[in-house]
Amino acid sequence: METLIIVESPTKAKTIKNYLPKVEVLASNGHVRDLKTKGRFGYGVNVDTFEPSYEVIKEKYGVVNKLKRAAKGKKVLLATDPDREGEAISWHLANILGLDLNDNNRIYFNEITKPAIVEAYNNPRQINLDLVNSQESRRILDRIIGFDLSKLVQRKLYSKSAGRVQSVALKIIIDREKEIEAFVPEAYYLIFARFGDIIFEYVKNQRRSLKNKEEAEKIVKEINKEFTVKEINIKEAKRYSAYPYTTSKLQQEGIMRLRVGASSVMNIAQKLYEGVLIKNETVGLITYMRTDSTRLSPLFVKETYNYIKDKYGSEYVGKLRVSKNKQSQDAHEAIRPTSIYRTPESVKPYLDEKSYLLYKMIYDKTLAFLMKEGIDEVKEVKITSNGYDFNKTFTKELFDGYRKLYNKEEEPYFFGKVGDTLTLDKIYKENKQTEPKKRFSEPTLIEELERLGIGRPSTYADTTRKIINSGYVRRVKGYYHPTAQGILTEKNLDKYFNSFINTEYTSKMEEELDLIATGELSKEKMLKNFYKTFKPLVEHANKEMPFQPIKKEVEHVGEKCPKCGKDLVFRTNKKGERFIACTGFTSKPRCTYTRSIED
């Protein structure tokens, strides 16, 4: 019997077809069905039994018909992504194509390489219905919360939308803004003693306990020119490399190093995963990019240890460390190169600049993790003058270990001994003020969402995009500033739904979805408990929440357009970034003059 493999993307289909030339491979182009928008409340869900009603997505009629024709008389294998979304897509395809859910018609692979694809092809499994139930529960929650809250804020506040994770992310940003506004700075003083290129600091600097200007000036005045080395403590310290990338860490570092958004980081990673044409072969360069695990496969670890031994010597081979992250589902490996022998330089000619940079980040991080830790000599030196102690910590590399991969700057080291005299070059004080916490940027917001257990790696990029597109925040020099509309929306959601729109409840909901995924919690029980509490709050808010439209003021720049002479104003683009535009854009003839604020 002929075989048909169905994957999600055409690129992946093309790559797999190269490895299995006798098999037909087609793509579903993502989800093919979704909840209906008809019926009671438009949920597409029976709220008594929580039985969902699905329909083929309108844009996918052609794809579905093509798959139905191709599947006739063939053995069908479903090779969608190895996560809950992928499992749900396989389940929907199985239902549409009339496949038996008891058959082994699901194949899994974490990387798109020939050995991985052949192994998966030869070892199909059943669809994991617990994973499907978890995804279905998430979709139902998001539909109910999204529909009810979005309709509410649209009608009462003229806001665009609200959602289970999106609204909590907005609350996190606004809570930080409130902290910043309430912050009262305090003055303090730091004192430093410079000896050539080496600067020691006063022992009270770290505690920021020197608040009085007169006391700081008194210390500076009483310091003698000669200092004595009072104490030296020496110890060895091991320096370990970071764990390989999870999705959130890849997004955080990718945003900063590639200077793009989280969505762009994931799009680049997707292409590296699905396959790149290297010489005459299309090959996946990295493993699946949606993961919260730092685990690596034993085969890859063994291969990499051999590589390290051959290239750097056996003394550079590290010891495998296991992360103790309790929030990790550990369903997949960390994001890693599919082969350690496929170095960044060897694939550079086949990649664009940003793809190369991201691949190099992933490759270097993984290789460093499996190399030996570095060892440093750490020397803590305390010096004194007229009863005032100053200290500094010096570091000298004894063994570079994984740091052999990176360029290192040599730091000054202290070679003196206790009792030695040092002659001061300069003593000086600095006047400082305590500062509030910084506003969130996209990478720090993702880090905070992960820390609090809000959402999942696959949802972070979508969450940050939504709060921008909804007009709730704007980006100023990379940092999120809440808008008046965002503040109004969060204020009302907090007033009427504070038992739901908070970090603790949303994190607890993620935990329950994890329990459904492992078969430890009933989907129906979780949804019923949620709905019986949530729906009365919606009904109350619909009655009691007042209409609160905000009149949107146009902010004028105070300049005329150099092109047409009309007023220039500040606008915000879909990324939440402000720019300057001409008011003549809405006139006829239309003036399209724009410029960045920095210009």
116: nearest Cα among 266, 300, 291: 300
Q: How buried is residue 328: exposed, middle or buried, by Cβ count under 10 Å (0-12/13-18/19+)?
A: middle
The predicted structure's pLDDT at residue 577: 73
Joined tokens for residue 407:
């360029």
Q: Is the preceding omega at residue 589 within 30 degrees of 0, hence cis?
A: yes
pLDDT given for residue 555 in this prediction: 79
**Which residues in 534-550 are b (16+ Cβ under 10 Å) and which e?**
beebbeebeeebeeeee
Q: Choose among 497, 473, 486, 482: nearest CA to 545.
A: 497
Active site residues: 288
Residue 74 and residue 72: Cα distance in Å, rounded? 6
Backbone angles phi, psi at 186, to 5 degrees: -120, 140
Lookup: tokens for 193: 């003693």
Q: What is the pLDDT of residue 240?
A: 97
Question: Number of H helices and number of E strands within the chain?
Answer: 17, 22
Topology (CATH level 3) of domain 3-127: Rossmann fold (3.40.50)
pLDDT value, residue 570: 86
Model pLDDT, residue 231: 97
Measure the CA–CA gap between 557 and 569, rounded to whole angstroms: 5
pLDDT value, residue 591: 93
The fold of the 162-179+442-544 domain, in CATH, is Topoisomerase I; domain 2 (1.10.460)
Tokens of 546: 């007042």
The set of residues, in sequence order, having a beta carbon less than 8 Å from that of 110 and lying 6+ positions away, is 82, 116, 287, 288, 297, 332, 333
CA distance 542 to 149: 10
How many Cβ atoms are within 10 Å of 292's Cβ, its own excluded? 21
Fold of 187-240+373-433: Topoisomerase I; domain 3 (2.70.20)
- 187-240+373-433 has the same fold as 162-179+442-544: no
Spatial contact of 462 and 262, defined as CB atoms under 8 Å apart = no
Alpha carbon of 221 to those of 139, 214, 224, 239, 389: distances in Å?
Answer: 68, 10, 8, 40, 14
Do 457 and 211 touch, CB atoms closer than 8 A? no
Going from N- to C-terminal start, the domains of the chain cover 3-127, 162-179+442-544, 187-240+373-433, 247-369, 556-596
Task: Give the distance between the most distant pair of CA atoms in the chain.
Answer: 94
Residue type, 372: K
Give the global pTM: 0.86
Where the chain has pLDDT below 50, the residues are none
Place domain 247-369 in its CATH homologous superfamily. Topoisomerase I, domain 4 (1.10.290.10)
Per-residue pLDDT, 410: 83
Residue 455: predicted pLDDT: 87
